[in-house]
Amino acid sequence: MNINTNVYKQYVKSGGSTRKIPSYMFSGSEKTSSAKVDTFSLSANASLFRECGKTIKSAANEVAAPADESRIDSLRQQIKNGQYSVSSGDIADSILERIV
């Protein structure tokens, strides 16, 4: 709570009259129309770094997602039988697709 002691001081100086006290002093706030506002801005590098951080968090959430047990069993069976193969191009495309 903001208590404006200037109101009381002005009241005492005026001899108990409120006619000489400006109305803004009764508002309980000492803010004026020339109040300053804080601002900030990010550099281009900071903005890029922020976007990269969001992308990394998104990718990490995908990796940490629970796996489908039936899919894992199917892959294990294919690997065991020698039927599982993936091209390096498909892996690279998948990685780039998630990043971009």
Query: Model confidence over 67-100: pLDDT tens digits?
Result: 788 888 999 999 999 998 888 999 999 888 888 7
Q: pTM value?
A: 0.31
Distances (CA, A) of 71 to 2, 15, 28, 30, 57: 63, 88, 67, 66, 25
Query: Model confidence over 5-36: pLDDT tens digits?
Result: 565 566 666 665 555 555 555 555 555 556 78
pLDDT at res. 61: 81
Phi, psi (5° rounding) for residue 70? -65, -35
**CA 91, CA 26: separation in Å to the nearest integer?**
70
